[in-house]
Amino acid sequence: MSYDYDQVSVPDEGEAVTLVEEGSDELDVPDHPVVPIIYGDGIGVDVGPATQQVLEAAAHATGRDISWMRVYAGESARERYDENLPDDTVEAIRRFRVAIKGPLTTPVGAGFRSLNVALRKELDLYTNMRPTYHIEGVPSPVTDPGAMDMVNFRENTEDVYAGIEWEAGSEGAEQVREFVEAEMGFDDTIHDGPVGIGIKPITEFGTKRLVRKAVDYALENGRDSVTLIHKGNIMKFTEGQFRDWGYEVAREEYGDEVITEDTLWEERDGEAPDGAVVVNDRIADNMLQQLLTRTDQYDVLAMPNLNGDYLSDAAGAQIGGLGVAPGANIGDGRILAEPVHGSAPKYAGQDKVNPTAMILSGRIMLEYLGWDDAADLVYDAVEHTISSGTVTYDLERQIEGGEKAATSEYADTVAAEIERLA
């Protein structure tokens, strides 16, 4: 594939990650891949370089290398090229398949669509994956944070992310009201006066490919269950349908490897076959309280976009908050890893914030490359660093006797720990 980059240059060294064969999502990974990186806005300039340093250390310690390709989005792209999301940035991630980004600011108000949403949709990164596990030594608001070891799969392209909305007072909103009232028979449903209207589409295609990703992950990683989270008791034809299509995947596509919870009780007295993944479902509001009360019963969760937004942030809080919560956007044979947190503009450039979330997002990226040894080193080094008391301000203020490190000092310590452990 050839593409001329006008605005950025491809590194002289390193090769592209490719597909083993067209149509599969299995990757052919060289030992020295080119990896596009977007530092992002605000604290991106702090956490981006810290992450590069740690991932490079892990690559070197396992006999590999990474050639970074700096690409731009958000404020840095506006400064350089007077546009928010240059084609070259999207094209680089499309071509090199494995990439990582820091946070991007989304100004509140009309006229600015989220660049994060644009990137995910443009590259069809339809799964937002957020592992939530507790790292020894990270302070948490709950008494037993170690009980949580979940991986959330949030649909990334439809539901509220489809962005079908009409502003109150607009011609579009009035047309939709007219249609809904006159044509569809909901004539006594919407109050008089200005109304904002949104539509949330949930498709069979979007649901099934997301649920497959969650079930595949559970099978590949020896997880016990996949829970479908929905609000199908109220939104029967969107969220209820998500549940039903999710169960269809479980019943029709995996044979004995997957069993649904009702079958488990009806036919097997609650006893799952060895190694099988159990698929069950929970209503979203109930699930939010079960996260706290029955934390250890949940394993892999699959959900539509908005539920996933709420639930993964709530779960992230239980394991220590935004400074340590990693994530990744995944499509077929393509990944854009990114931390859960935003650009925290008030701390930008101060060498202060916690880079752990982006470093652990990099760990997901390394696993996606199949570099499990390097990924394990990153995790072990982060855990040793934090539990030995070297932490950034956000954790230090909650730990007695913790030693406050700058972002760069923390990254130096993690990188040195990788060398020591290798």
- The residues of the shown chain that bind ligand NAP, judged by CB under 6 A, are 43, 47, 103-106, 116, 322-323, 338, 341-344, 353-354, 357, 394
Query: What are the phi and psi torsion angles at 150 (to 5°)?
Result: -120, 160
Closer to ligand NAP by Cβ: residue 33 or 321: 321
Nearest-5° angle of CA 337, CA 60, CA 331? 20
Closer to ligand NAP by Cβ: residue 156 or 354: 354
Q: How far apart are CA 73 and CA 86, in angstroms?
A: 7
Task: For the CB of residue 318, give the shortest distance to ligand NAP in the complex, in Å.
Answer: 15
DSSP secondary structure code for residue 188 in this structure: T
Q: Which residue is nearest to ligand NAP (CB)?
A: 342
Closer to ligand NAP by Cβ: residue 43 or 138: 43
Closer to ligand NAP by Cβ: residue 105 or 238: 105
Task: For the CB of residue 104, give the shortest distance to ligand NAP in the complex, in Å.
Answer: 4
Q: How far apart are CA 114 and CA 124, in angstroms?
A: 15
DSSP 393-412: HHHHTTSTT-EE--HHHHHH
Task: For the CB of residue 239, give the shortest distance to ligand NAP in the complex, in Å.
Answer: 24
Adjacent-strand bridge partners of 390: 403
The structure tokens 């990153």 sit at: 378
Task: For the CB of residue 380, give the shortest distance to ligand NAP in the complex, in Å.
Answer: 21
Task: For the CB of residue 234, give the shortest distance to ligand NAP in the complex, in Å.
Answer: 27
Closer to ligand NAP by Cβ: residue 298 or 393: 393
Closer to ligand NAP by Cβ: residue 300 or 344: 344
Q: How far apart are CA 366 and CA 360, in angstroms?
A: 10
Instruction: Answer whether 54's CB lies under 8 Å from 414's CB.
Output: yes
First-to-last alpha carbon distance for the chain, in angstroms, is: 36
Task: For the CB of residue 354, give the shortest distance to ligand NAP in the complex, in Å.
Answer: 3
SS3 content of the chain, % helix, strand, coil (to 5): 45, 15, 40
Closer to ligand NAP by Cβ: residue 156 or 207: 156
Query: What are the phi and psi torsion angles at 240 (to 5°)?
Result: -65, -35
Instruction: Answer whether 395's CB lies under 8 Å from 385's CB.
Output: no
Residue 70 CA, distance from chain mean position: 21
C-alpha distance from residue 213 to each of 175, 292, 348, 413 (Å): 38, 25, 35, 35
User: 128: part of which helix (H) or strand (E)?
Assistant: strand 127-133
Task: For the CB of residue 74, give the shortest distance to ligand NAP in the complex, in Å.
Answer: 8
Residues acting as catalytic residues: 161, 231, 285, 309
Tell me the HSE value of 375 on the side-chain side, using a 13 A CA sphere: 13
Q: How far apart are CA 221 and CA 26, in angstroms?
A: 17
